[in-house]
Amino acid sequence: MALLEEISNVKVVPVDKSATNKLWKIAGVLLVITIIEFLFAFLLPEHWKWMKISIFIGLTFVKAFYIVSEFMHLKHEKKALMWSIVLPLIFVVWLTIALIDEGGAILFAR
């Protein structure tokens, strides 16, 4: 029982406060981008549907790039490594758009 009381009284203190501050900064940046997305969702009129979709996709890429650059440390890596990850992603996005477009064309051809 005494061991349990000792364990419950132990306070966990982060070793590196700058790492904690960096995580809070990253969370803040992502929160601001998410708030901007919500503002666009609720403030833009419904007839600007494609503008909203474009803004959401763009801001999603910004958030994804920021997450990858910070948490996967790609911002600090060699350019060849970064391009070896980004270039296939570009092709996958292109393929997805092409398949959606072709699927729509086949649907309208019937």
Q: For the segment 49-74, what is each residue's pLDDT rounded down to a tens digit?
A: 888 888 988 898 889 888 888 877 77
For the whole prediction, is pTM greater than 0.75?
no
**pLDDT tens digits, residue range 79-100?**
777 778 778 888 998 998 888 8
Q: What is the C-alpha separation between 27 and 109, in angstroms, rounded?
A: 47
Residue ranges of alpha helices (H) inside the chain are: 2-9, 17-43, 49-71, 79-109
CA distance 34 to 63: 9
Instruction: Read off the pLDDT of residues 15-28 as tens digits, 9 standing for 90 and up.
Output: 778 878 888 999 99
Residue 14 has pLDDT above 70, yes or no: no
